Amino acid sequence: MQKLIPLLCLIICLGAASCNSSGKASTKPVSFRIALGSCAHQDEPQPLLDVATAQQPDVFIYLGDNIYGDSYSLDTLQAKYDRLAAKPEFQRLKASTRLLATWDDHDYGWNDAGRHFSLKAESKEIFMDFWEVPARNKRRTHPGIYGTEWLEQGGRKVQIILLDNRTFRDELIHREENDKEFKNDYVPNKNPDSTFLGAAQWKWLEGELSKPADARIIASSNQFSHAYNGWESWTNVPHERQRMTDLIKSTKANGVIFLSGDVHWGEISRLEVPGLYPIYDLTSSGITQTWDVIEPNDNRLGKAIPQNNIGVVDLTFTGDDGQAKLSLFDATGLPVVSEVVGLKMLRVEK
């Protein structure tokens, strides 16, 4: 009979954090720390990377504009990556933790570029090599750079989905100069045929969201949960944002939290979605870049961060409960704004 106890423990606790000798789910906490940042000019000092290193994260996610390439010359693009690689603060971060990355327009190759950028395949190869994506990784086998990575510990699984918001995205609709309804560069594109992610990436994403996970991090270079502000974001293709929330609902994907960059300020947004749990979006931008005017955001929690910043997501699981703490840190190494989210709140109703 005693020989059966380990097997019974495995069966009873399959999918739980861990088992003790009695076969009950352990209440010992299991924690993950995910750091993030974006908008880092390769020719500027990057002290925020040392702030990130000091946080001792399990992974650091670069959310785009990781260099300011902005060139149709592949040699120029490579040289700018090389300048980032040579930075001592980047080397310290790389030596201390795992690095993951997606891209935005400036490291993709050109400001606000989408699917019509002529060097996207060549730019991808430089990106994959710089970020040392393994040769057999599925991200290398299809157009675009989207892919999934995992953090696993103590029986817990955190899914990290790296979206590609550039390779397949249709052109956005520019705002007319005399338009009084909207502001800044872009107006919402209501053409149902326009896409943000493209058909192949959407199909892949459905499969990924259907996989079991204790929490899911979706890394999107552009903001998702904020209110429209006229700059590049998911709000400029509203039917695609609706498609995302519908997909989370239909796949019953619990525990989704978005990470984003791009805008040159930091903030935490919460999008209320009828029939679904709220979608939180931690925006960390930038490592070196700032912006003169922070746009209003009715979905913002707390204050916006105008100074350079990095973000941190602390995920803690205890028994059948868990929480996510979303924080933004500035160059002082102290959190400027934080929000704690109970993971039980992020569950699809049966």
pLDDT digits (tens, 9 = 90+) for 294-349: 999 999 999 999 999 999 999 999 998 999 999 999 999 999 999 999 999 999 98
Strand, coil or helix: 38: coil
Query: What tens digit of pLDDT does each residue of 226-278 get?
Result: 999 999 999 999 999 999 999 999 999 999 999 999 999 999 999 999 999 99
pLDDT of residue 27: 73
Report whether pLDDT(15) > 80: no
- The span from the CA of 168 to the CA of 171, in Å, is 10
Class of residue 35 by CB neighbours under 10 A (exposed 0-12, middle 13-18, buried 19+): buried
- How much is the average pLDDT of 29-50? 98
Residues in contact with 135: Cβ distance below 8 Å, sequence separation at least 6, in sequence order = none
The whole-angstrom separation of Cα 174 and Cα 189 is 9
Handedness of CA 195, 78, 146, 254 (dihedral sign): negative
Mean pLDDT of 13-23: 39
Beta carbons within 8 Å of 333's beta carbon, 6+ residues apart: 51, 54
Q: Is pLDDT of 26 > 60? A: no
Q: Does position 211 have pLDDT exceeding 50, yes or no?
A: yes
d(CA 255, CA 265) in angstroms, rounded, equals: 25
Strands 156-162 vs 215-219: parallel, antiparallel or unpaired: parallel
Tens digits of residue pLDDT in 116-151: 999 999 999 999 999 999 999 999 999 999 999 999
Return the percentage of the chain with pLDDT > 90, whole number: 91
Tell me: pLDDT of 18 over 50.
no
The reported pLDDT for the residue numbered 25 is: 43
Query: Residue 54 CB: number of other CB atoms within 10 A?
Result: 13
Task: Give the list of residues 6+ apart from residue 38 with CB closer than 8 angstroms, or none.
Answer: 62, 63, 64, 65, 66, 104, 221, 260, 261, 262, 284, 285, 286, 287
Contacts of 147 (CB under 8 A, 6+ apart): 133, 137, 138, 139, 162
Q: What is the pLDDT of residue 89?
A: 98
Q: Do 175 and 183 touch, CB atoms closer than 8 A? A: yes
Asked if 313 and 335 count as a contact pair (C-beta separation under 8 A), the reply is no
Please tell me the predicted confidence (pLDDT) of residue 28. Answer: 87
Predicted local distance difference test score (pLDDT) of residue 349:
84
pLDDT band, very low/low/confident/very high, at 48 (cuts 50, 70, 90) = very high
**Bridge-based pairing state of the strands 300-305 and 279-283:** unpaired
Share of the chain above pLDDT 70, in %: 93
Looking at residue 21, what is its pLDDT?
33
Mean pLDDT of the chain: 93
Q: Note the pLDDT of residue 4.
A: 40
Q: Is the pLDDT of residue 111 over 80?
A: yes
The per-residue pLDDT for 8 is 36
Separation of alpha carbons 298 and 227, rounded Å: 6
Structural domains of the chain, with CATH: 28-345 (3.60.21.70)
